[in-house]
Amino acid sequence: MAALIADERSTIRRLFPLISESPALLQHASISLPTAPPPSELHALVNSKKWDDAIERCKTHPGEVSSQLRDERGYTVLHSLLAYNRTTDGDELIPLISAILRAAEEVDFQAEFPLGRVKYDDIYHMKQFYHDIEVIKSDIASIETATEQILTTPKENKAAIATFTTEAFKILNRAENCKKKLELLQEENLHIKKELSESKEKTNNTDDLCVREELVNKLQSKFSDEMKRYQESQKEVTGADLTAATSTDGRRTEGSLRLLLDQHNRAKWSPLHLICLQGGFTRGKVPLLRILLQEHPDSSQQLLKLLDRQNRNLLHHLTEISVPTDDTFQAVHYVIGKEYSLLLQKDDRGKTPLDYVFDRHYMHANSARSRLSNGNTVEERYENTYLLLQVLVGYLERGEGSAGTYAINEEQVNNDDIIPQNLFHAVCRLPMGVCPELMFKFLFKGIASIEKEVDENGNTALHLLLANPSYTGEGNASQQQSYRPRNRAYNQSQREFRHVLASNRDAIYAQNNSGHLPLRIAMDARRRDVMTDLIMINHEAVLLDERLDDSPILMAHVLGVVASSSDVLEPDSEPKIVDDVVQPLDTMFELIRARPAVVSFGRSEALDSEDGKRLDLEGKKSWRKKLNPFRFFSRDSKH
């Protein structure tokens, strides 16, 4: 047994030059790395929720708020405070936040600017690396002591050897990890030197390059010196050493602003992101946002527009909350009032904050995620997300100027001031592409009373959508399509039109206070993309509206539809009509009988529109072959 213990002791001692040169031995270790200790005493106080002690620590040790000191997630002390205390009222944290920001003004952040490709937290990683080395050295001393105890207590040999071996492999893991860290840092500096060498040949700004190269050389030299110190295991790197590793002749950024802009963590979350994250602070978001933004008013827009790794802004995070609370609504009003453009920002999946609310409200209403454990019922979730949907649409409809006005009186803003009188009408008035396309399909499913409402001018939602100028842009107005159903079905504006029409089929026959049918609105707005559907469904409308008698737009359109519909006819012998084209053909022939001038119009090279401009008929060469829509039929044979 004594020989076994001696062999074990000899083996462990061979394994422990400070960094193991045999990584293969780690394959036998199944112990995961332990959680890293807090990088500073201030971090420990914040994690323990000792706010008063933390405030005093900020005054006596301001350097501990530096972005050099990060936890295992890459969080500074300000990040940690906002990330790990979400159940605390935001007002309670304001004194400590103020103390951290004041302390940051006393920190020299010059050392944290990147040189070439060196990252902001590389210097911190180097310091943390040497901290790990000291811990390993202490562990080795403990293992030596344990080995001596094993030799003096033979009766507990088996248990002691097992414990000893487990601890040894744990330290081996940590030691190997330290070695890899240092290798990565050295490799990074080699990249810097290579890039500088290549850049010299491509630029005339040699003075700037020389300065940068000098800084990199200093940093590289420092790494070499520290490697020697590490190998000798004689000295821990100090704060002075770290500062000396960088230039003293660089620009200086205000420390508090630097902390607020800090996104050097895996998710690229700034302190403001952490306040708004899903499941974030349940109370006091607005006071926290206000104190951070008031610290640097001139940089508030820059802070509000920060995007995380998935290109999400603050509103994306606020609207991702499962059940919006009153505190969430207050934060939404505050953020939109400060920066309206966040409403239109898209993440890396192309989704806006409005998409987030719509997806959560309609598309995932029955998912397991909606079964909340905090006492909120599904009905409450539905009501609150629907209210948040109304608020966002209300802001989009009112525009940026209105949002800025509310921002001035932020304390007086409430949801009723923002939400539209009829959400369906508001959605139809918004610019094309602002709302998710599926909103037109699912928005008012089963709420017929809202769908059939009219505004003060007697317009239904269909009237409003057809009159929306964003759907009649130059692209839509000038597109002379073949009007084939298979082509029209892929047009976004037409799909949205059909969803709105499906919600209230009677709207196509409704006249507004001016006596205009939806077809008349579409004609005035030059909505060629939907005129075919309007005519096919309600061709009598053409006969009812005298305004349409001499409309060249309608005539050109009808001829195009008849010509393209005739493509389904077989040119030989007796014509054969596909079933799903019978109604369109019947409709077109009724229109042609009512407007005989359509045929003669089709022979024109071009027509003058009302404003005097020339209206070119696209594809007129192919149309000439189809100018006579009766080449397969005679009027007598139809009836």
- 610-639 per-position pLDDT tens digit: 444 444 444 444 444 444 444 434 444 444
HSE-CB for 262 with a 13 A CA cutoff: 34
Question: Mean of the per-residue pLDDT values for the chain?
Answer: 67
Q: What pLDDT sits at residue 293?
A: 92
Q: What pLDDT sits at residue 222?
A: 57
Higher local confidence (pLDDT), 279 or 12? 279
**Phi and psi dihedrals of 8, rounded to 5?**
-65, -45
Per DSSP, the chain holds a count of helices (H) and strands (E) of 34, 2
The stretch 95-109 carries a mean pLDDT of 85
The stretch 14-32 carries a mean pLDDT of 40
Tens digit of each residue's pLDDT (9 = 90 or more) over 359-368: 877 755 544 4
Question: Which residue type occupies 140?
Answer: I
pLDDT band at residue 54 under the 50/70/90 scheme: very high
Tens digit of each residue's pLDDT (9 = 90 or more) over 526-571: 787 787 778 777 766 766 665 555 566 666 666 566 555 544 444 4
Question: Which residue type occupies 566?
Answer: S
115 in Cβ contact with 301 (< 8 Å) = no
Question: Which residue type occupies 561?
Answer: V
Q: Give the count of beta carbons closer than 10 Å to the beta carbon of residue 473.
A: 13
Instruction: Give the residues across from 614 on adjacent strands.
Output: 608
pLDDT band at residue 51 under the 50/70/90 scheme: very high
Measured distance CA(340)–CA(338) in Å, rounded: 7
Take residue 619 and report the two structure tokens written for it.
């594809």
Following CA atoms 202, 208, 211, 217 in sequence, which dihedral angle do they give, to the nearest 10 degrees?
Answer: -30
* CA Rg value for the chain: 36
Among 115, 420, 350, which residue's Cα sits nearest to residue 246? Answer: 115
pLDDT band at residue 80 under the 50/70/90 scheme: very high
Measured distance CA(323)–CA(475) in Å, rounded: 41
pLDDT band at residue 4 under the 50/70/90 scheme: very low
Measured distance CA(563)–CA(571) in Å, rounded: 13
